[in-house]
Amino acid sequence: MTGGESKAGGVFVLSAAAGAGHVRSAEALVAAFAAKRIAAKHVEVLKYSSYFFKKVFSDLYFELVNRQPAILGLVYDAMDHPWMYRKRRLALDLLNTRPLANLLKEERPRLAVCTHFLPAEILLHLRRKKILDIPVGVVITDFDLHAMWLYRGVDWYFVACEETKVHMAALGVPPETIHVTGIPIDPAFSPAREKAETRRALGLEQDLTTVLVSAGGFGMGPVESLANAMQEVRHPIQVAVVCGKNPDLKRRLEDLPAPNHPVKIVGFTTEMERWMAASDLLVGKAGGLTSSEALASGLVMVIINPIPGQEERNSDHLLEEGVAVRCNNLPALAYKIDSLLSDKERFERMRQAVHRLARPNAAADVVSLVSGTMTSPKGPSPTT
C-alpha cells in the first residue's frame, strides 16, 4: 500500500513541491517506513491547495530561482523573524488548503511526518481544534533553521546538525523534541558502491577523476556555462552533466563544440545515486537534499553561486565543516578545481570530513524514532 491509498489510521508523509528536495525527502521516508513493514502514504500538499498557492509555492519559486534570486533572498530574510506573522500566515494557509484539511479529516492518519512547513501548520491547527489527535513530526530539509519552520506543539523536530538544535532550543523549542538525525535521503546514496565498476556500467572511463555537474531535479541554473567552464580545467578529468527535467538543456549541451575532456550528458535520471557513486566531485548548488546525498556518497562539493537565503546558509555550514569550496565567479571555476586537485593532502582531508558529516541513515533513524508510537493507541501527548 506504500505510495498508494492508505487506510484510516495509517502514516502520512506530507511534502510540498516547492523545490524537489521536500518531495525527495518524503519519498525516502516512505521507503524507510516500508522497510519496517509500516504502510505510509506520501501526500504532496500543493495538489490539495488553491491555484494561487500552487503558483506562489511552485511556479513563482522557480521563476525567482532562475531570474531573480536576489529577490528570493530578500523574501527569505524578511520572513525570518521567529514566532512572528503566525496568525496571518495561518489564516492565509487555511483559506488556500481546504482540500488538504478535508483529506486529513476524511482519512484521519494515525501519525504524520512533514518535510515542508505548510502541512505541519495545517496539522497542528487541526489538532488544537481537536479535529485530529495525532503526533506530528517535522523534518527541516536544510542545514539551517528558518522561522517558517517554527511551530508550537510539534512532537518531533528532525534537524541536520547540532548547531540547529542549539538554535531552536534557544528560541524556545523544547530540546527533548529536537533530534539530530540529518536530512532523510534515499538509502541508495552510499559510498559503498565500487567506483570503478560503477563508472564502467555508466559508460565512463574507470581511471579518470570524475566531476558531476548537477542541474538539480528541475534542470535550473547556468548549466551550459558550467559545462563550458569545466573544459578549462588543466587536470585530466571526465565530466558527467545531469540535466534533470529539462530536455531543452540536454539538447543544447549535446550541440556544444567538441570538448577538451570527456563529457557524458545525462537527461532526467532515477539513478542519481549511481552517478554520485561514480564521481569524485560534485559541482552545483547547495540544496539541503543534494548536499546530503553528496555527503552520503563521499563527494567533495564545489558550490556555485548559492541562491541567497537557504542555499547561502547551507553553504556556510558546508564550508565551515571543510567539505566544500565555493565559487562565486564562473571564470574562476577551473582554477578552483585545479587548486583542489593539485593539493592531494587537502583533498583527502576534505574527503575525511565528508565521511564524518554524512548521515546516510537519516530516514531510517527518523522512522525508528516515530514508529514507537504505532504500538500505542494514541501516541505521545501533544506538547504545548
Q: Which residue in 185, 167, 187, 165 sits closest to 176, CA to CA?
A: 165
Q: Considering the chain, tell me which residue range(s) the CATH 3.40.50.2000 domain(s) occupy.
A: 11-186+361-375, 195-357
Give CATH for domain 195-357: 3.40.50.2000
pLDDT of residue 18: 82
Bigger pLDDT: 254 or 376?
254
Q: In the numeric block, which cell numbers belong to residue 288?
A: 539541503
Bigger pLDDT: 224 or 263?
263
CB distance 106 to 12 below 8 Å: no
State the Cα–Cα distance between residues 104 and 139, nearest whole angstrom. 19
| pLDDT, mean of residues 349-353 | 97
Please tell me the chain's helix, strand, coil percentages from 3-state DSSP, rounded to the nearest 5. Answer: 50, 15, 40
Residue 375 pLDDT class (50, 70, 90 cuts): low
pLDDT of residue 218: 42
pLDDT of residue 279: 96
Lowest mean pLDDT among 110-114, 173-177, 263-267, 275-279: 263-267
3-state secondary structure at position 139:
strand
Helix axes 98-107, 117-128, angle to 10 degrees: 60
Burial class (CB in 10 A: 0-12, 13-18, 19+), 108: middle
Averaged confidence pLDDT in the chain: 88
Instruction: Note the CATH architecture for domain 11-186+361-375.
Output: 3-Layer(aba) Sandwich (3.40)
Residue 376 has pLDDT above 50, yes or no: no
| pLDDT, mean of residues 366-375 | 85
Going 106 to 108 to 109 to 112, the CA torsion angle's sign is positive
pLDDT of residue 251: 82
Residue 1 has pLDDT above 50, yes or no: no
In angstroms and rounded to an integer, the radius of gyration of the C-alpha atoms of the chain is 21
Q: What is the pLDDT of residues 150-187, one digit of tens each?
A: 999 999 999 999 999 999 999 999 999 999 999 999 98
Q: What is the pLDDT of residues 77-125, one digit of tens each?
A: 988 999 988 888 899 889 999 999 999 999 999 999 999 999 999 999 9
Q: What is the pLDDT of residues 26-62, one digit of tens each?
A: 999 999 999 999 999 999 999 999 988 888 777 777 7
pLDDT of residue 9: 62
Q: What is the pLDDT of residues 293-346, one digit of tens each?
A: 999 999 999 999 888 889 999 999 999 999 999 999 889 999 999 999 999 999
Q: Give CA torsion, residues 142, 148, 149, 155, to 10 deg.
A: 180
